[in-house]
Amino acid sequence: MNLTTPTTMGQLRRLIAAADDRAGAHVLWIDNGGEVHLSADDGASDDGAVRLRFAPFQPGAGMVGPLAAHDDGLIGKMYFSILHHWLHAGDAPPGPLDAALDDFEREGGWAVPAEPTAHVMNIAPRHGVFGAACH
What are residue 12's phi and psi, to 5 degrees? -65, -40
pLDDT exceeds cutoff 50 at 102: yes
As a whole number, the mean pLDDT across the chain is: 78
pTM of the complete model: 0.71
* Amino acid present at 83: L
Instruction: Specify which residues 37 forms β-bridges with.
Output: 29
> Which residues have C-beta within 8 Å of that of residue 31, sequence separation ≥ 6?
37, 49, 50, 51
pLDDT digits (tens, 9 = 90+) for 48-72: 788 999 989 999 999 999 999 999 9
Q: Are strands 50-54 and 97-99 parallel, antiparallel or unpaired?
A: parallel
pLDDT for the residue 100: 81
Report which of residues 103 and 16 the model is more confident about.
Answer: 16
For residue 28, what is the DSSP state? E
- Strand blocks (E) in 1-134: 26-31, 36-40, 50-54, 97-99
Q: Are strands 50-54 and 36-40 parallel, antiparallel or unpaired?
A: unpaired
* Amino acid present at 12: L
80: nearest Cα among 60, 40, 107:
107
* Cα 56 to Cα 63: distance, rounded to the nearest angstrom: 10
pLDDT for the residue 30: 93
pLDDT for the residue 89: 85
* Cα 81 to Cα 30: distance, rounded to the nearest angstrom: 12
Reduced to 3 states (helix: H, G, I; strand: E, B; else coil), residue 31 is: strand
**Percentage with pLDDT > 70 across the chain:** 71
pLDDT exceeds cutoff 60 at 27: yes
Domain spans of the chain? 9-102
CA torsion through residues 83, 88, 94, 96, sign? negative
